[in-house]
């Protein structure tokens, strides 16, 4: 028996495809414009190949900033068009402003219009092609689960949210006697192999918890399917690869025994480099803060009326508390009845405070904490001791966040909204653990690029 397989693009493969074809379409478009019109600003030959490299770097960089490679954005027509406009505009603008690396500005200014239109329509046409063909049902990933039916709906929902091309056709229970408590089709043991073959399944996901036992007959059938080329993976691997989070609720409480912390956490060269970058960025940030502080102070006097700065105790690396510096965004005596999470549309936040939070300007004083060594540029956001205690009592592994320095920005901050409930704290914990597990220079760069998009799109809380 040989299982039939349909084409499916994984999340990482889709993102790579989008980047590569973006560049190819833009370069081909510029070549066509050069052949049809008297367009000489950008032309392709061996003597100026570095122009294409600079253009490609700008294109992929601003595409990342403006979420052009976010699959949810790529699959939504309105959001896709918005991202294409912003990406093409920023790419062309920066390309024109760096004549040392790029062609000198032409005397005929209409060539600049040709240049922008060529980049814009190349991206737009390709993205509509992707939307019509690659984001369609013909590229869905068809899978079945081997699991306890009670938790199946929740597990599938978590995956479908981040990958709309994920289709679960059914599940196989760990034992014959197990009843179906999900909305999915329960596949009988004796029909498993035929079901896999007839439905062209891409993958089987094993979602047992450690305490669950698998029957001998099911184990033999899965082994047989594996030998015939069917992909069999554990749920935690699928979840992590799809969501860029760790499935905390799925892991056992002794996960630290096998949790593979990133080697970067103990790598002296990496830590030295990141500390140097922290100092450099903090000095730049403090300088910018000093320049804009008179303006902010003026508006604070008008619309905030009260102290300009605000200090708070936070938990840092190794559970050591430190004092964090912020610009005040709430009314005076905001917590006279006790500490509570800030919520969306919190009445305690002043009008000017909302602006400071949305633009992240309220966090500028934290560059002082970074310079002192309390914090880093990238890392889990530091939380208040009282909230750490409350959350740690309800969420396993929460204290794991404190094995590294907290950060001004982090993987959780650029991937999830503001935390105002325990459920939100759980999601952010999953992102933080993913960062701790995979911490590297490339992941840090990814966080910084996404942070630019967060600020530009006014996504602060």
Tens digit of each residue's pLDDT (9 = 90 or more) over 381-418 = 999 999 898 888 888 788 889 999 999 999 998 988 76
* Cβ atoms of 429 and 410 closer than 8 Å: no
Task: Provide mean pLDDT across the span 107-112.
Answer: 84
Work out the angle between the directed axes of helices 152-162 and 235-243 (0-180°, nearest 10). 30
* Cβ atoms of 165 and 193 closer than 8 Å: no
pTM given for the model: 0.83
* Cβ atoms of 333 and 306 closer than 8 Å: no
Q: Which of 380, 423, 421, 420 is nearest to 402 (CA)?
A: 380
Residues 6+ apart with CB under 8 A from 199: 142, 169
- The three-state secondary structure class of 339 is coil
Phi first, then psi: give them for residue 321, nearest 5 degrees.
Answer: -75, 150
**Torsion sign across C-alpha atoms 90, 92, 94, 97:** negative
pLDDT at residue 360 greater than cutoff 60:
yes
Cα separation, 179 vs 173, in Å, equals: 8
pLDDT at residue 254 greater than cutoff 60:
no
Please give the domain boundaries of the chain with CATH numbers for all domains.
11-134 (no CATH), 140-243 (3.40.50.11060), 263-456 (no CATH)
- Alpha carbon distances (Å) from 445 to 301, 434, 440, 455: 37, 15, 9, 16
Phi first, then psi: give them for residue 99, nearest 5 degrees.
Answer: -65, -15
Which residues are paired to 207 by β-bridges? 147
Q: What is the pLDDT of residue 334?
A: 67
Q: What is the pLDDT of residue 357?
A: 87
Write the pLDDT tens digit of every residue in 161-174: 877 778 888 888 86
Q: Which two tokens stand for residue 417?
A: 């909204």
Cα separation, 74 vs 131, in Å, equals: 7
Task: Provide mean pLDDT across the span 216-238.
Answer: 85
């Amino acid at each position: 028996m040989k299982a039939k397989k349909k084409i499916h693009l994984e999340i990482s493969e889709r993102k790579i495809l989008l980047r590569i074809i973006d560049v190819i379409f833009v370069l081909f478009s510029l070549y066509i414009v050069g052949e049809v019109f008297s367009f000489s600003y950008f032309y392709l030959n061996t003597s100026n190949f570095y122009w294409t490299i600079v253009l490609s770097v700008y294109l992929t960089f601003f595409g990342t900033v403006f979420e052009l490679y976010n699959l949810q954005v790529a699959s939504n027509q309105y959001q896709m068009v918005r991202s294409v406009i912003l990406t093409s505009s920023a790419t062309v603008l920066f390309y024109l402003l760096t004549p040392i690396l790029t062609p000198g500005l032409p005397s005929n200014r209409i060539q600049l219009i040709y240049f922008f239109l060529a980049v814009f329509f190349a991206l737009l046409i390709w993205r509509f092609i992707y939307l019509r063909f690659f984001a369609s049902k013909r590229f869905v990933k068809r899978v079945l689960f081997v699991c306890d039916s009670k938790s199946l709906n929740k597990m599938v929902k978590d995956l479908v949210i981040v990958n709309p091309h994920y289709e679960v056709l059914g599940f196989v229970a760990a034992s014959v006697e197990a009843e179906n408590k999900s909305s999915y089709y329960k596949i009988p043991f004796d029909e498993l192999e035929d079901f896999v073959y007839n439905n062209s399944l891409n993958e089987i996901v094993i979602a047992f918890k450690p305490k669950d036992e698998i029957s001998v007959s099911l184990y033999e059938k899965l082994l047989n399917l594996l030998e015939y080329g069917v992909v069999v993976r554990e749920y935690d691997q699928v979840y992590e690869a799809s969501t860029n989070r760790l499935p905390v609720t799925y892991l056992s409480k002794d996960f630290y025994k096998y949790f593979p912390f990133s080697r970067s956490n103990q790598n002296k060269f990496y830590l030295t480099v990141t500390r140097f970058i922290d100092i450099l960025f903090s000095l730049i940030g403090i300088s910018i803060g000093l320049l804009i502080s008179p303006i902010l102070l003026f508006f604070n006097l008008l619309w905030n009326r009260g102290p300009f700065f605000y200090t708070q105790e936070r938990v840092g690396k190794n559970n050591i508390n430190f004092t964090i510096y912020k610009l005040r965004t709430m009314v005076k005596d905001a917590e006279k009845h006790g500490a509570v999470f800030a919520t969306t549309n919190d009445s305690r936040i002043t009008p000017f405070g909302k602006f400071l939070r949305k633009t992240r300007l309220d966090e500028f004083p934290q560059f002082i904490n970074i310079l002192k060594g309390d914090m880093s540029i990238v890392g889990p956001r530091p939380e208040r001791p009282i909230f750490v205690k409350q959350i740690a009592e309800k969420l396993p592994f929460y204290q794991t966040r404190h094995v590294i320095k907290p950060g001004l920005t982090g993987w959780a901050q650029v991937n999830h909204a503001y935390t105002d409930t325990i459920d939100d704290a759980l999601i952010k914990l999953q992102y933080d653990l993913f960062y701790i597990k995979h911490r590297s220079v490339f992941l840090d760069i990814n966080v910084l690029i996404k942070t630019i998009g967060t600020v530009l799109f006014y996504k602060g809380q």
